[in-house]
Structure 1
């Protein structure tokens, strides 16, 4: 009965069938006709003309466009889109999130939606998680786009502004999420139009986010921040790093057992928080020789002590961060295992970690511009995403982005075997069992990929495998320069690979290895760019067994003719190994710990079983793992004790696997709540940011007359503000503070020194206000005559940008301070978020009033040297 109901209410299956009927079948019907088209670029540009000039929509031309894109793929890179890839491409065009299994060819799927949306000539972005994937995507798929007459660009970390401008001016741009976000923030700090790198007309039109769950969920807990130096580094961090070593960690109070916490401080690992006890506060006050740690004058010390304790007990080397050879503390992404150079923990935590590690403390930073990934991607006219795992997070995608998830069927059935978890009492018991399983698999020649959650674990396993005489490769944040090369060959026989979390995600693991990758390595050793069109054409010809390879090799400079035989031998060797590995059962995945998100576990499993390949997976868990220790049920441990089970005896039961998944679901809910709270707070800032950035863009790109009008309007607003303060309309003129009004106005507009303010008392309120505003307009006209129209316009732009930037920066700092302390309002039975909105709105309104005052002062009092 439940199967029948599921079928009736399965919207996913119905939506897939709809796309097959409306897109896939019509595209297939056009295939034969499209193969006869001689000039694909001309045919595709005809579609652009129909859209841009003819008024047709993208939905009107999706079928002929997809047919041309498929044919371009077949001709240029030797890849014809599967029907399932057409479904994925259509889902991306309609702004949905496409869940596609590993190995289903998401890189090729994206070309369909990108090329189609590029017909609007407004620019499309393919957003990836790292520079390598962005570069590979742009270069590999560039042949396809150029065959259609489209331009493709790459915006990479080390590019100059003019190179970035050229990349974003292309029809399609490949870029990482962080680079794109920072380019947006930098554009909103630009002082002249030539400094903008994103398109001026349509900066954020259409984007496809690759590994959308990694970017929009995992990384969404940390906002993008551009910082500037605020104050010099303080050696106090070193003092507090030493001081907290003298404090004793205790246990929190337990209802029904202990009413008071023990020790000097307690640690809450779930929320990553520390709390000083009364005993601890007293001890610190004695050590520092102060009376009240939480008095206003010592609040900074209290904050630094808290961060020193967090650095000591909650942030661990080789798990949360690494220390480079140059003594730099580099954060490790907890979800991908990749290092994040340039990123720093906020609120002094990074400095506290630097002090703990005894390295140089970098300067404190002040926020100059910030935005969350959620609010950034919501700025796009349309955006879509693709990943191997998104369905478990569909609620979040719907709530925050308004996008649902469409699960795309696989091209071939998945035959991977996913075994139940094996649960051990201790970590060492678990790791010993992992080594034994690897030894058994390795003895048969079967490839093994081991997933770990930290560098520390990967290096421990590496030492254990070395002691067992098992040759292996290690991939973690310390070796990520080798990431693609290691992962690309992880499917070869007799290969054992240890990878931190999902390091290498985005690179396909092919059974037997990746022959094209090996050929590319050899070409680069001979000085040839593997991604050059001639090199790609040659390697693809080798893979197809095309006789033209003998001619194509002649177009490769410095490559000897005998490399043809070597390349063919590499291909044959990989094909033979692929057959061997398939017979052995394919790639075996071993997870050494359950992650706090089921999605990350599914990503690891998904590395095996691509395109109908055989494969298997198993997770090894211990009751000492963080997830089990913090969230699982203690009764299972007690049961193991009663049964007398030791470290070598695992539990393999669906009951335990179910308990783990329930623990993961609880953590996922908690993390979602954290991200949602971050977004709610940023939404307050977002409305303010939109107003400021829109005003900046208007000043930067607007016509001279519009900028002058804005300046004059702000001067008028300033005068009205002062009239409301010193001569309010609901007060009799006799009660007005005209001396105060004169002082305030003359301070900004010197012409008011000669204005007869006393004459206002004999006028009606309306006439008095009108008289002051008319005098202001005359003063502005006089200033225009003094400077000349051109100089006035230049001055207006300069003043508006400088003043807005200065006070926006100060406002951001004030918002940071407000955000840090607003939680304390909860102790007064007041909702912190409501209080934050109220305070933030008041602060913003005050900032706007200050802007108007400062702009007026600058416009009238700035001395301009025209010599």
Structure 2
């Protein structure tokens, strides 16, 4: 009841594992479901969405509420729309977000599936609103084949050679460091052991021999001391350290930078010595401007060549940077796996594969090149939203999880959500032990195997938590060598997840799970297991986030059951290497720690917790920054989607169109009246609106700007009304004929329109509505189709421009400017240009549009129509055919046929699925 009250109040309820979160949700769901405005219950995966809707559905249906789950149905289907129209709708976070994006890409209001965003309860709210928040939802489609794909393939051999020489260099520096330090030379200056050690670390921080050496007494402390020395005064002296390296790796920030040595090495064999060096564009532009010999035309040409060279080299360096990252920072079976010739991302939080997700900025293509699999096509964003901004649209939002308290600050700052910890029904008796810290990873893994064997002999089930697929498979191999039966649950075996977790509570059962896999599935214990001491949790590494560790611990000790949890940590673990391990190393040195010994002390556990807090703060900063960038995008998205909704539903569409005509007319009159150029005014009136204006030169010269505008505006309106009336007059007999003869079979007719320049837009008109309104709905259908097509195309191009802008503004930090501020200013300018472009194109198209009735156009229409009948539902095509036959019987010049470009069997399907036509609608 307490949990239900908290959720109804729009807060986050933190409830321990096994306290019945699924059942608690029924209370606010029922109460808010009574409003009939729709309650969305959001889960992390489709298994939980289906399971919960099937468990809870009968209870809510008994109380006269309708319940459904969107994940059971295909997107854009009547059944999914019906699921959204239920009082209570279950589904996954991604599907709710993608449906919102898809709804803003549809061509008719009937295709939309979502209602208003009234109330959402998010299950495992920390996973959805925090872990998934760093990755925006993107609907994308293919772009024309670019040179980028080839770039990765061509650069791959060079990068592999570069990494090979850097590895040799790192080995040399490590060898130098060892011998110098043994001789007592720990100097941080050139020729000292400290300098050699730091160079080895910045060359390849994940180098195994280096990691092992850093666990020796005093070595980690020396590295830290040397690094601090060179990082003073904003790393002013760091270039001295980096000079002999080919590239440098900042592991904490996950950045790789090519040095001058590296650029020279890569340019060997190229005709241009500066093949991998960006030109100084500002200085070069000034040189061109200052050149007294060159003519203005030559200067312009030189600037174009310079700009082109900069763009090509910038793209090449970007590919180099991404390939270096792929080879040095991303490990197979840790950050990603290769399955069936595809690179698939592994979710670092859950250990599950993230189907359909790809790294952005060409990093995914770099990983594909590295693993010798087919490089995926470069895609263009059609629509995007972050989960943060999607869930902030809800009138009321609440959530539940077992672990939210550590992130309470972020929940409040971003979502204005309070976290309330709900007390457990029975006290938790789980024994949470202090961490066991070892110097090396091999010592730690041996200790883990011994502990598993010991617990198994006691008849207790063991759940072993790992952070990567690689570690889970390594432990599995070690257990097999000892003939210990076990189950492995990781990104490669997620299909058997529920089955494996359900068995994990049996006596002596050993289960290895990557991170939080198994969330939402309870491990139930048998009476013998309770007697033996309950489920034992063994964690092989501390995660970056305390929340993930708490989640793993929470698998044991549910509902007052006995249990224990123990973390095994080594100084070679990622978290320990990157944050704070020098303090523990110093502590171990002081205590006279010997090889193979273990430390278990509250001071060590606190030190590890401090390191985790550092990482959490860093990750929060990343998410907050992402949100600040997306907030700019969000304002623009809402404005465009509102404009789109007006077009889609026909609300205010005519008013918007006349306002658009007026705005364009005002701009044309103002610009040419100011310059007093009558001829330019006449030409622009013709090129934009397709009218030969009746305003003569005398009136244009003598009258005021306002008088000219009023006369011009009246002329535009008269022309537009005349055009739409003529179209109605031509089409109405045809539509009546089709309705009378074929009305029992067809509801709509497809009518192709063109402005004579751009591609034709087929307008779909409702036969019955057109006849009943005496042709008025035809005008609205034309306006709707044209406005949607132009808004969608312009928005796609704007998204690409915004992506490019986000990349380019990062350089502003070198000029001591905040990239976000620059981004906001530039984004505003881009958006103003977008709105003007949409208005101009829409106004121009509508004023110039005509039925495709010329002889040439008629021939094209006949040729194309034959092959296009398979791309849409046969109903609409047959109606178009019937309409065409009817028109030809009436009058040749009034022929109306449907026109679209021919689609080949191997072309991409026009439906936007991304599949080939023969595998999609061409079957």
Deviations 1:317-374 (CA, angstroms, capped at 9, x unpaired): 11111111x2011111110111111111111111110000000111001111001111
Instruction: Tell me if the contact between 1:738 and 1:758 (Cα under 8 Å) persists in the aligned partners.
Output: no
* Structure 2 equivalent of residue 489 of structure 1: 503
| Partner of residue 271 from structure 1, selected from 244, 250, 253 | 253
1:401 Cα deviation (Å)?
A: 0.4
Deviations 1:723-767 (CA, angstroms, capped at 9, x unpaired): 33333xxx5xxx423332222221021223544254221112322
Instruction: Tell me if the contact between 1:425 and 1:646 (Cα under 8 Å) persists in the aligned partners.
Output: no
1:463 Cα deviation (Å)?
A: 0.7
Whether 1:601 aligns to 2:549 is: yes
Rate the CA distance shift 1:715–1:363 in 2: closer, same or farther, 3 A: same
Deviations 1:658-689 (CA, angstroms, capped at 9, x unpaired): 11000000110000000000000000000000
* Structure 1 equivalent of residue 222 of structure 2: none
Residue 478 of structure 1 aligns to a residue whose secondary structure is: coil
Q: C-alpha separation between the residues in 1 aligned to 2:391 and 2:620?
A: 18
Residue 388 of structure 2 aligns to a residue whose secondary structure is: helix
Q: C-alpha separation between the residues in 2 aligned to 1:243 and 1:711?
A: 56
* Structure 2 equivalent of residue 656 of structure 1: 604
1:861 Cα deviation (Å)?
A: 1.5
* Structure 2 equivalent of residue 718 of structure 1: 664
* Structure 1 equivalent of residue 832 of structure 2: 845
1:785 Cα deviation (Å)?
A: 2.0
Q: TM-score, normalised by structure 1?
A: 0.79
Residue 840 of structure 1 aligns to a residue whose secondary structure is: helix
* Structure 1 equivalent of residue 565 of structure 2: 617
Rate the CA distance shift 1:397–1:287 in 2: closer, same or farther, 3 A: farther
Rate the CA distance shift 1:754–1:460 in 2: closer, same or farther, 3 A: same
Residue 492 of structure 2 aligns to a residue whose secondary structure is: helix
Q: C-alpha separation between the residues in 1 aligned to 2:228 and 2:588?
A: 26
1:827 Cα deviation (Å)?
A: 0.9
* Structure 2 equivalent of residue 709 of structure 1: 655
Residue 411 of structure 1 aligns to a residue whose secondary structure is: coil
1:776 Cα deviation (Å)?
A: 2.0
Q: C-alpha separation between the residues in 2 aligned to 1:155 and 1:670?
A: 35
| Partner of residue 303 from structure 1, selected from 287, 293, 318 | 318
1:469 Cα deviation (Å)?
A: 1.7
Deviations 1:53-93 (CA, angstroms, capped at 9, x unpaired): xxxxxxxxxxxxxxxxxxxxxxxxxxxxxxxxx11111111
Q: C-alpha separation between the residues in 2 aligned to 1:289 and 1:384?
A: 62
Whether 1:183 aligns to 2:99 is: yes
Instruction: Tell me if the contact between 1:711 and 1:800 (Cα under 8 Å) persists in the aligned partners.
Output: no
* Structure 1 equivalent of residue 743 of structure 2: none
Greater Cα offset, 632-641 or 359-368:
632-641
* Structure 2 equivalent of residue 28 of structure 1: none
Q: TM-score, normalised by structure 2?
A: 0.75
* Structure 2 equivalent of residue 441 of structure 1: 455
| Partner of residue 798 from structure 1, selected from 764, 785, 798 | 785
* Structure 2 equivalent of residue 91 of structure 1: 6
1:483 Cα deviation (Å)?
A: 0.5
| Partner of residue 746 from structure 1, selected from 676, 683, 686 | 686
* Structure 2 equivalent of residue 503 of structure 1: 517
Residue 268 of structure 2 aligns to a residue whose secondary structure is: helix
* Structure 1 equivalent of residue 45 of structure 2: 130
Residue 386 of structure 1 aligns to a residue whose secondary structure is: strand
* Structure 2 equivalent of residue 143 of structure 1: 58
Whether 1:323 aligns to 2:338 is: yes
Q: C-alpha separation between the residues in 2 aligned to 1:414 and 1:862?
A: 73
Instruction: Tell me if the contact between 1:88 and 1:408 (Cα under 8 Å) persists in the aligned partners.
Output: yes
Deviations 1:493-546 (CA, angstroms, capped at 9, x unpaired): 1111000000011101111xxxxxxxxxxxxxxxxxxxxxxxxxxxxxxxxxxx
Q: C-alpha separation between the residues in 2 aligned to 1:256 and 1:610?
A: 50
Rate the CA distance shift 1:190–1:676 in 2: closer, same or farther, 3 A: same
1:308 Cα deviation (Å)?
A: 0.5
| Partner of residue 384 from structure 2, selected from 334, 349, 370 | 370
CA RMSD of aligned residues (A): 1.6
Residue 618 of structure 2 aligns to a residue whose secondary structure is: helix
1:151 Cα deviation (Å)?
A: 1.0
| Partner of residue 162 from structure 1, selected from 78, 90, 107 | 78
Instruction: Tell me if the contact between 1:446 and 1:588 (Cα under 8 Å) persists in the aligned partners.
Output: yes
1:287 Cα deviation (Å)?
A: 4.7
Q: C-alpha separation between the residues in 1 aligned to 2:460 and 2:158?
A: 52
1:444 Cα deviation (Å)?
A: 1.2
Instruction: Tell me if the contact between 1:433 and 1:648 (Cα under 8 Å) persists in the aligned partners.
Output: no
Paired residues, what number? Answer: 704
Instruction: Tell me if the contact between 1:223 and 1:372 (Cα under 8 Å) persists in the aligned partners.
Output: yes
* Structure 2 equivalent of residue 281 of structure 1: 263
1:637 Cα deviation (Å)?
A: 2.0
Whether 1:104 aligns to 2:19 is: yes
Q: C-alpha separation between the residues in 2 aligned to 1:477 and 1:790?
A: 53
1:633 Cα deviation (Å)?
A: 3.3
Aligned ranges for residues 488-567 of structure 1 at < 5 Å?
488-511=502-525
| Partner of residue 152 from structure 1, selected from 67, 73, 78 | 67
1:771 Cα deviation (Å)?
A: 2.0
Instruction: Tell me if the contact between 1:205 and 1:380 (Cα under 8 Å) persists in the aligned partners.
Output: yes
* Structure 1 equivalent of residue 241 of structure 2: 260
Greater Cα offset, 821-830 or 239-248:
239-248
| Partner of residue 818 from structure 1, selected from 805, 809, 826 | 805
* Structure 1 equivalent of residue 705 of structure 2: 765
* Structure 2 equivalent of residue 586 of structure 1: 534
* Structure 1 equivalent of residue 144 of structure 2: 231
1:640 Cα deviation (Å)?
A: 3.2
Q: C-alpha separation between the residues in 2 aligned to 1:863 and 1:139?
A: 54
* Structure 1 equivalent of residue 194 of structure 2: none
Q: C-alpha separation between the residues in 2 aligned to 1:158 and 1:306?
A: 41
